[in-house]
């Protein structure tokens, strides 16, 4: 490629961002017969409740939070791709209530197709986000592959009593979402050449906003469960809380925070293939209101790349949770509540 022929990173990927995740139904089938070996008591969080990261207790005051996340390009700009991937990877640490301490880079690049300066820009984007989070990238691993892949292994620290699991929600808890929905829809519009400059700017702003409130939220006694909304969509990740906590979720569709341009495009039929795969895996346990339209379903299953924190908290903790988000310039919304019932979602 010459300088007059700009690289379009998304041309190398069959799907971008968290839309690349294996659909939840297929993943469940793959992992169904995975043997559970002897689990040490120090492993506070493993694979049992589909949490965002593993947590291993070191001593009465400290536990290690460990996670990894990587994907193919969701945007064409290499630095933006690196920034988004790094923000998304670190989010899992905050979702468990931890603070990151360092990261390792996961890098796969088609060296015969991408100029080295493009690869450097991707890595520089990741470094930029880690610097903003106050941590170094202390190493990593790289391979030559057919599609560009970038992400991080993230390591963090959390007090064992502040770990927030999917299984901790209680009946009566409010559900609060920290970022608006619609990233997957914007990415679909971008691939079709339809996304406006303003829509792209909003997409970058949301996907590179680090979910730092998670660490402070975890110290609030009234916060019972927390996750981040990524590739399985809001409904998919909320169902993980429902299953872990053995409760039903009541969602109020009108209260969902939405990116305005995403709402426009989804009403026009623009969505990702991943949203369809997501819905096919869990749509049968999501009850939509009478007269609902397909675009509403697409929003609930829209794969979010570097999406917002989803918090289940006691009603008397609502204002404290909202204040922690707002302190760092997030615009949270109360979107529903948890109640006794089967592990499913009812949308009103």
Annotated catalytic, 20? Answer: no
- Pairwise CA distance, residues 287 & 292, whole Å: 10
Tokens standing for residue 217 = 């939220």
* pLDDT recorded at residue 48: 81
pLDDT of 65-86, one tens digit each?
999 999 999 999 999 999 999 9
pLDDT in tens, the chain (348 residues): 334 446 778 776 655 544 555 556 665 665 666 666 778 999 999 888 788 899 999 999 999 999 999 999 999 999 999 999 999 999 999 999 999 999 999 999 999 999 999 999 999 999 999 999 999 999 999 999 999 999 999 999 999 999 999 999 999 999 999 999 999 999 999 999 999 999 999 999 999 999 999 999 999 999 999 999 999 999 999 999 999 999 999 999 999 999 999 999 999 999 999 999 999 999 999 999 999 999 999 999 999 999 999 999 999 999 999 999 999 999 999 999 999 999 999 999
Tokens standing for residue 50 = 């589909």
Sequence ranges of the chain with CATH classification 3.90.650.10: 164-347
* pLDDT recorded at residue 52: 85
The CATH superfamily assigned to 164-347 is PurM-like C-terminal domain (3.90.650.10)
pTM metric for this prediction: 0.91
CATH class of residue range 9-161: alpha beta
Strands 248-251 and 149-158: unpaired
pLDDT of 321-336, one tens digit each?
999 999 999 999 999 9
Write down the catalytic residue from 18, 130, 313, 317.
Answer: 18
> Do the Cβ atoms of 133 and 213 come closer than 8 Å?
no
Q: What is the DSSP string of 188-227?
A: HHHHTT---HHHHHHHHHHHTS--THHHHHTT-TTEEEEE
Sequence ranges of the chain with CATH classification 3.30.1330.10: 9-161
């Amino acid at each position: 490629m010459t300088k007059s022929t700009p690289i379009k990173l998304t041309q190398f990927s069959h799907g971008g961002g968290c839309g690349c995740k294996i659909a939840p139904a297929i993943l469940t089938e793959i992992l169904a017969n995975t043997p559970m070996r002897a689990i040490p008591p120090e492993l506070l969080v493993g694979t049992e409740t589909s949490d965002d990261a593993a947590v291993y207790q070191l001593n009465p005051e400290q536990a290690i939070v460990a996670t990894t996340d990587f994907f193919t390009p969701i945007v064409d700009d290499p630095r933006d791709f690196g920034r988004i991937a790094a923000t998304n990877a670190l989010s899992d640490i905050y979702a468990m209530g931890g603070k990151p301490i360092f990261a390792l880079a996961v890098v796969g690049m088609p060296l015969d197709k991408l100029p080295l300066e493009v690869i450097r820009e991707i890595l520089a984007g990741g470094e930029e986000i880690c610097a903003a989070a106050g941590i170094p990238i202390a190493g990593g691993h790289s391979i030559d592959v057919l599609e560009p892949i970038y992400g991080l292994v993230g390591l963090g620290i959390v007090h064992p009593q502040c770990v927030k699991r999917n299984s901790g929600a209680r009946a009566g808890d409010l559900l609060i979402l920290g970022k608006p929905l619609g990233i997957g829809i914007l990415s679909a519009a971008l691939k079709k050449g339809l996304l406006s400059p303003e829509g792209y700017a909003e997409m970058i702003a949301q996907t590179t906003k680090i979910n730092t409130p998670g660490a402070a939220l975890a110290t609030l006694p009234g916060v019972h469960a927390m996750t981040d909304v990524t590739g399985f969509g809001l409904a998919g990740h909320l169902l993980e809380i429902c299953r872990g906590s053995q409760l039903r979720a009541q969602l109020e569709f009108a209260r969902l925070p939405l990116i305005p341009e995403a709402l426009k495009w989804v009403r026009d039929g623009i969505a990702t293939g991943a949203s369809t795969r997501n819905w096919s895996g869990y749509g049968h346990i999501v009850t939509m209101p009478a007269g609902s339209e397909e675009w509403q379903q697409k929003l609930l299953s829209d794969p979010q790349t570097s999406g917002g924190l989803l918090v289940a908290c006691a009603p008397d903790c609502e204002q404290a949770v909202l204040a922690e988000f707002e302190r760092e310039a997030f615009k949270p919304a109360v979107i529903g509540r948890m109640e006794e019932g089967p592990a499913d979602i009812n949308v009103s």
